[in-house]
């Protein structure tokens, strides 16, 4: 398994998996830690636009909100201390995912939150081993206010059809000799309704990785879905997630994000500045020369079919539209630091909101 030290999402995962960060025990409800300087000094991993305000999430259950997109305040009493890795919104309904299989929901644009799902690792001596327990979730995609998917480490794929009131585990392995009834009973985690969706074991036979981490999920304009992850793993669904098939990326390293555009157009990005583009939902891919070998961890649509990608050492890779050459810029904060960036959000004025190891900030791309 590759090291995740090059990115903060992967770094947090690596620390949890190696035991350097103690798991959060579920003996009593834990609330997010108050950090007065979270907006400028906290680890903030992702941000999104709700109808009423912007919402950002990060370390130790910290959630920030801003109506102005310039002044941020921390939401008090978020009902978790798990690190939150991703956030998305449909109107003023907002969802955040993170460590311990945590999924949070807000119905008022991020001001108050409830726990929809939590799967804290049971470390008691007599606990039965469950390889899915405590697995971090790394991205979430809501198709609308009711239907959505969450993905995470070790091939975690969850879906909801009721706004997150229940989340169903979508199995990504299936024993060849088992019957459909056995699959449904043993491979599907029921949380509200029966389902036996699977990806075949053959689909996951990627060298020595049988349960690759799923890092990101996106939807294209055609309604198709794409998942990208470690070791170049990618899956697509043309039927709203009812079935999935493995597709080939020309790069064997990890992809940390994927952006969906009109039709079957998508861009995947990740380790060492690698970016690949497809116009046919992964039937073919073309490499985009970014001019950097810095890992790219966050991305957003920017311009007319373009993108803004962010990553290590404050790197910002911008492309106005398909066929145009990307340009590289470097974000620095008020202290002239160039922190690792994990999230980016495009604004209507073509400015950017960026987040990472030094909180949330605005970035205005320089004219070329």
3-state secondary structure 231-285: HHCEEEECCCCCCCEECCCCCCCCEEEEEECCCCCEEEEEHHHCEEEECCCCCCC
Q: Per residue in 234-260, pLDDT tens? A: 999 999 998 899 998 999 999 999 999
Higher pLDDT, 33 or 57: 57
Confidence category of residue 28, pLDDT binned at 50, 70, 90: low
pLDDT at 163: 97
Give yes or no for residue 5 having a pLDDT over 50.
Answer: no
Q: Per residue in 93-107, pLDDT tens? A: 999 999 999 999 999
Instruction: Compute the residue count for the chain.
Output: 368
Give yes or no for residue 190 having a pLDDT over 50.
Answer: no
Give yes or no for residue 9 having a pLDDT over 80.
Answer: no
Name the average pLDDT for the chain: 85
Window from 20-34, 37-51, 176-190, 235-249 with minimum mean pLDDT: 176-190
pLDDT at 29: 61
pLDDT at 123: 80
Question: Measured between alpha carbons, how far is 85 from 102 in angstroms, rounded to an integer?
Answer: 10
Mean pLDDT to the nearest integer, 315-337: 95
E strand or H helix at 306: strand 306-311
Q: Which of 257, 335, 348 is nearest to 300 (CA)?
A: 257
CA quadruple 136, 331, 3, 231: dihedral sign: positive
Q: Per residue in 107-139, pLDDT tens? A: 999 999 999 999 988 788 887 777 677 899 999
pLDDT at 181: 36
Q: Per residue in 192-229, pLDDT tens? A: 333 434 444 444 444 445 788 999 999 999 999 999 99
Structure tokens at 175: 């024993």
Mean pLDDT to the nearest integer, 54-71: 97
Confidence category of residue 18, pLDDT binned at 50, 70, 90: very low
% of the chain surpassing 70 pLDDT: 81
């Amino acid at each position: 398994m590759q090291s995740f030290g090059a990115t903060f999402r992967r770094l947090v995962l690596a620390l949890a998996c190696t035991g350097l960060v103690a798991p959060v025990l579920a003996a009593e409800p834990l609330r997010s830690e108050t950090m007065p300087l979270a907006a400028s000094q906290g680890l903030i991993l992702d941000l999104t636009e709700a109808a009423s305000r912007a919402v950002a999430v990060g370390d130790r259950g910290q959630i920030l909100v801003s109506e102005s997109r310039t002044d941020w305040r921390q939401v008090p009493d978020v009902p978790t201390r798990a690190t939150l890795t991703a956030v998305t919104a449909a109107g003023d309904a907002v969802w955040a995912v993170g460590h311990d299989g945590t999924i949070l929901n807000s119905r008022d644009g991020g001001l108050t939150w409830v726990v929809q799902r939590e799967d804290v690792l049971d470390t008691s001596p007599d606990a039965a081993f469950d390889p899915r327990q405590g697995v971090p979730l790394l991205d979430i995609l809501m198709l609308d206010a009711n239907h959505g998917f969450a993905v995470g480490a070790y091939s975690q794929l969850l879906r909801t059809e009721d706004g997150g009131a229940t989340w169903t585990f979508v199995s990504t392995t299936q024993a060849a000799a088992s019957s459909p009834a056995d699959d449904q009973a043993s491979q599907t985690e029921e949380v509200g309704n029966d389902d036996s969706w699977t990806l075949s074991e053959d689909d996951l036979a990627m060298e020595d990785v049988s349960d690759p981490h799923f890092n990101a999920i996106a939807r294209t304009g055609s309604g198709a879905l794409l998942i990208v992850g470690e070791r170049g793993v990618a899956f697509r669904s043309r039927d709203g997630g009812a079935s999935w098939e493995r597709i080939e990326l020309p790069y064997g390293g990890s992809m940390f994000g994927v952006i969906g555009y009109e039709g079957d157009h998508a861009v995947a990005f990740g380790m060492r500045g690698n970016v690949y583009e497809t116009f046919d939902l992964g039937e073919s891919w073309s490499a985009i020369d970014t001019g950097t070998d810095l890992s790219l961890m966050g991305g957003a649509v920017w311009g007319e079919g373009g993108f803004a990608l962010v990553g290590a050492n404050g790197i910002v890779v911008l492309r106005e539209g398909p066929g145009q050459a990307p340009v590289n810029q470097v974000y620095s904060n008020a202290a002239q630091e160039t922190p690792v960036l994990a999230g980016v959000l495009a604004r209507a004025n073509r400015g950017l909101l960026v987040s990472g190891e030094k909180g949330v900030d605005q970035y205005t791309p320089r004219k070329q």
